[in-house]
Amino acid sequence: MKEKQTKPSKQQKLEEKKNRKKRLEEAKQAEKERAAKRKARDAERKARRKARKADLKAEKKIRRAKPLSPSDPAYDPLRDDTRRKKVKQLSFPELAHFCEQMSMILKAGISSLEGIEMMEGDYTSRKDQDLMLDIRLSMEETGELSSSMKKTGVFPDYMIDMIKLGEESGSLDDVMDSLERYYTREEQLRTSIQSAVFYPLIMSSMIVVVITVLLVRVMPIFNQVFKQLGTEMTGLAAVLMNFGDLISRYSIVIVIVLALALLLALFCVKTQIGRRLSRSILRLSKSFRTLNEQVATCRFAEGMSIVFKSGMDPATKGFPMVRDLNEDSDFEKKKLRKCAALLEGGKNHPPEGITEAIEHAGIFEGMYLRQLSVASKTGSVETAMDQIATSYQDMIDTSISNKLAILEPALIIILSMVVGAILISVMFPLLSIMATL
């Protein structure tokens, strides 16, 4: 038989109750201690964060302070050159790299502030670290990436406006991805144009140098040989010899002229006024005008693709922003002004939609116009714009490659003919003299 369980006595029940109450009090006390520790830890973390922020601001002030004199006791040679004397906008590759990183960070679910802080820690150069520091400190105050980037002065207005729109519409990751492709394509366009302009100049300069060496160094040697044989150079050889003597006599003047030409070339490349001047001169060439129009159309298509993807009103806001990106005056006069007039409307005709205005203004032609027309009916205009921009980029690269493929052998043939003419003008008379000896 099972033994009967003895019921606890009244005294045992009281002790058990006291023990339970004691354990509850101990648990409450332990929870209070843990809460106090958490509070102290949070306060300590907040104090460290506040101190770090103050240190960063102090470091920022030190980096932007005027350089100290070496005689100053506080002089530090490692920090003396850290002041940014002039604000310079980032290059296309730098902008594309920044947008690519931000796009990956945002698509991973990380906030833009945390992303900027991550990028600040990843950069190794002090310039990039200072830039990310400026953006992060401003974002901690305003909470906006676009306004913080605008304060730095190194980002273009178009990029800032697109990012602001992406923040408002909640599609910042898509906007960053589109901007990365846009600035990558801008860099490809810039490289293509530089190849079309500078490669022929370099080849021509090499030809001039080779001919100059022949006239100044080689021709006098042949002249001495003729004198030793008791005769003198005649005909074309004499003309070339006199021209070489003229170059040697005025070599200082020629060097000064070449130096001024180099400075003028740097002015045309580095300054905005110089670029406008060089474009106006190069526009005299029909092939360059065609290339320039293709570049302007490619930029327009890429810009409008970003506008459509961002959700901005393409007629009232998007088109004026993309129009500001244009650098071709002929494209502005012939097509963009007409498109703007069609968008605004007039007394005799109502305002047109963006796709109709682009079509009637003749910005796109042929199959690209048909592609845009079909895309406007199917609701995929942004995809069509991106494809059109890609097609124009391929067209530009192919056009430049074809021209360079023709130009390179042509310059080599010219160099060979000139060098051959110089040598023939000397060698034939010399051979005839030696034959009579």
Residue 4 falls inside a structural domain = no
Residue 125 falls inside a structural domain = yes
> Model-level pTM greater than 0.75?
no
First to last CA, the chain: 150
Report the 3 state secondary structure along the chain: CCCCCCCCCHHHHHHHHHHHHHHHHHHHHHHHHHHHHHHHHHHHHHHHHHHHHHHHHHHHHHHHCCCCCCCCCCCCCCCCCCCCCCCCCCCHHHHHHHHHHHHHHHHCCCCHHHHHHHHHHHCCCHHHHHHHHHHHHHHHHHCCHHHHHHHHCCCCHHHHHHHHHHHHHCCHHHHHHHHHHHHHHHHHHHHHHHHHHHHHHHHHHHHHHHHHHHHHHHHHHHHHHHHHCCCCCCHHHHHHHHHHHHHHHCHHHHHHHHHHHHHHHHHHHHCHHHHHHHHHHHCCCHHHHHHHHHHHHHHHHHHHHHHHHHCCCHHHHHHHHHHHCCCCHHHHHHHHHHHHHHHHCCCCCCCCCHHHHHHHHCCCCCHHHHHHHHHHHHCCHHHHHHHHHHHHHHHHHHHHHHHHHHHHHHHHHHHHHHHHHHHHHHHHHHHHHHHHC
* Cβ-contact 172, 112 below 8 angstroms: yes
pLDDT the model gives residue 2: 45
Looking at the structure, tell me whether residues 96 and 137 fall in a common domain: yes
Residue 394 falls inside a structural domain = yes
Domain boundary among 186, 207, 230: 186
Residue 277 falls inside a structural domain = yes
Q: What's the pLDDT band for 265 if we cut at 50, 70, 90?
A: confident
Average pLDDT, the chain: 78
Q: What's the pLDDT band for 69 if we cut at 50, 70, 90?
A: very low
Residue 38 falls inside a structural domain = no
Looking at the structure, tell me whether residues 373 and 416 fall in a common domain: yes
Residue 121 falls inside a structural domain = yes
pLDDT of residue 6 exceeding 70, the answer is: no
Looking at the structure, tell me whether residues 110 and 179 fall in a common domain: yes
Looking at the structure, tell me whether residues 423 and 365 fall in a common domain: yes
Amino acid identity for residue 280 in this structure: S
Domain boundary among 122, 151, 186: 186
List of residues 6+ apart from 313 with CB closer than 8 A: none
Looking at the structure, tell me whether residues 270 and 155 fall in a common domain: no
User: How confident is the model over 168-193, as a mean pLDDT?
Assistant: 81
Biggest distance spanned by C-alpha atoms of the chain? 150
Q: How far is it, in rounded angstroms, from Cα 25 to Cα 348? A: 87
Q: How confident is the model over 133-153, as pLDDT tens digits? A: 888 888 888 888 888 888 888
Q: What's the pLDDT band for 55 if we cut at 50, 70, 90?
A: low
Pull the structure tokens for residue 318: 């998007």
Amino acid identity for residue 155 in this structure: F
Q: What is the CATH number of the domain that holds 154?
A: 1.20.81.30
Domain boundary among 166, 186, 206: 186
Looking at the structure, tell me whether residues 348 and 315 fall in a common domain: yes
Q: What's the pLDDT band for 74 if we cut at 50, 70, 90?
A: very low
302: buried, middle or exposed (CB in 10 Å: 19+, 13-18, 0-12)?
buried
Looking at the structure, tell me whether residues 384 and 427 fall in a common domain: yes
Residue 77 falls inside a structural domain = no
Looking at the structure, tell me whether residues 174 and 201 fall in a common domain: no
Q: How far is it, in rounded angstroms, from Cα 46 to Cα 346? A: 61
Q: What are the CB-based long-range contacts (under 8 Å, 24+) for 362-371?
A: 362/334, 362/335, 362/338, 363/297, 363/300, 363/335, 363/336, 363/339, 364/297, 364/301, 364/388
Looking at the structure, tell me whether residues 178 and 209 fall in a common domain: no
Total structural domains within the chain: 2
Q: Which of 18-22, 69-73, 174-178 shows the lowest per-residue confidence on average (mean pLDDT)?
A: 69-73
Q: How confident is the model over 313-361, as pLDDT tens digits? A: 778 877 888 888 777 777 888 888 888 888 887 666 677 788 888 888 8
User: How confident is the model over 370-388, as a mean pLDDT?
Assistant: 84
Q: How far is it, in rounded angstroms, from Cα 98 to Cα 132? A: 11
pLDDT the model gives residue 346: 66
Looking at the structure, tell me whether residues 145 and 249 fall in a common domain: no
Q: How far is it, in rounded angstroms, from Cα 343 to Cα 354? A: 7
Residue 384 falls inside a structural domain = yes
pLDDT of residue 83 exceeding 70, the answer is: no
By residue range, what is the domain housing residue 147?
A: 92-186
pLDDT of residue 16 exceeding 70, the answer is: yes
Looking at the structure, tell me whether residues 257 and 352 fall in a common domain: yes
Cβ neighbours around 434 below 10 Å, total: 10
Looking at the structure, tell me whether residues 208 and 272 fall in a common domain: yes
% of the chain with per-residue pLDDT over 90: 0
C-alpha dihedral sign at 390, 392, 393, 398: positive
